[in-house]
Structure 1
């Protein structure tokens, strides 16, 4: 999975770089369509990972919002066990490196754009010499 995310970032950068070399053409349209589909693939993973984190936080709040004080001792015991289990965070990670969340997705896009800008600047310097 980690290799997939690295490859998506590099492919995103390389495709944007290639697309910047072409003028307005049909090929540019297909490259931009490919870049958007790569971004959508990444977004799907990161979006749902972020939703799991958010829903887990909402579940902890919902435990305190229920009418637990009027329930049986067994219910209260089960609620306490569930509450202790929720304390452990759930984070989907890409390898052992970083958590999958929307801020991480934005960071990947920023890094891909930075690499693209660096390649583009290097290409412009070569053309101007």
Structure 2
């Protein structure tokens, strides 16, 4: 039971930790060049430390990318297929109470992937906020070397941390909605094959 629960939530925990690291980096960026007593060299060294921290965050993000890609892709396909079969059962073979339980089951299926998809969307938003924080940091009046480093930092941060399912489509709430559309595609295929009529005749 505990192992199954861990398999369901480990990706969410991982992404929440990633968001926490991005937020800490954003707070460090907001403090750059805010102390007038610091020398230009110290300010530059602090900026380099922020860039190094961002590289570590990217390495952390890539660590589980392949595992997220495969498992989430399989999960999307399985959930879409199960949803289609459940809708088929709901529309043709259920009474009120059975239909109520099937609707509850459908809601549970759809919500199974929603937290992870939503968190992936939030990570992309966090990357955008980090890029804005770098741009709005106190870099005006700094040395040319500092400004060049800021430009390169912004360039790397503007490439958001995004996860793909099976290297085919992004893991996002939009994809989570499209999985529901896959269920209707399965239902349409079943109706076109007249499977319901054949089963009812039996």
Instruction: Return the TM-score normalized by structure 2.
Output: 0.53
Rg bigger for which structure? Answer: 2
Indicate which of 100, 104, 108 corresponds to 2:179. Answer: 108
Give the CA deviation at 1:18.
1.1
Q: How many residue pairs get matched?
A: 128
Asked if the contact 2:128–2:160 (Cα under 8 Å) also holds between the matched residues in 1, the reply is: no
Give the CA deviation at 1:10.
0.8
Q: Which moved more, 1:53-62 or 1:115-124?
A: 115-124
Partner in structure 1 of residue 156 of structure 2: 85
Partner in structure 2 of residue 26 of structure 1: 97
Give the CA deviation at 1:125.
6.0
Give the CA deviation at 1:14.
1.0
In the TM superposition, 1:1-129 aligns within 5 A as 1=71, 2-69=73-140, 79-121=150-192, 122-123=194-195, 126=198
Q: Distance in 1 between matches of 2:147 and 2:125?
A: 24
> What's the Cα RMSD here?
2.6
Q: Which moved more, 1:73-82 or 1:47-56?
A: 73-82
Instruction: Return the TM-score normalized by structure 1.
Output: 0.78
1:38-68 alpha-carbon deviations (Å, 9 max, x no partner): 1001212211111111221222122212333
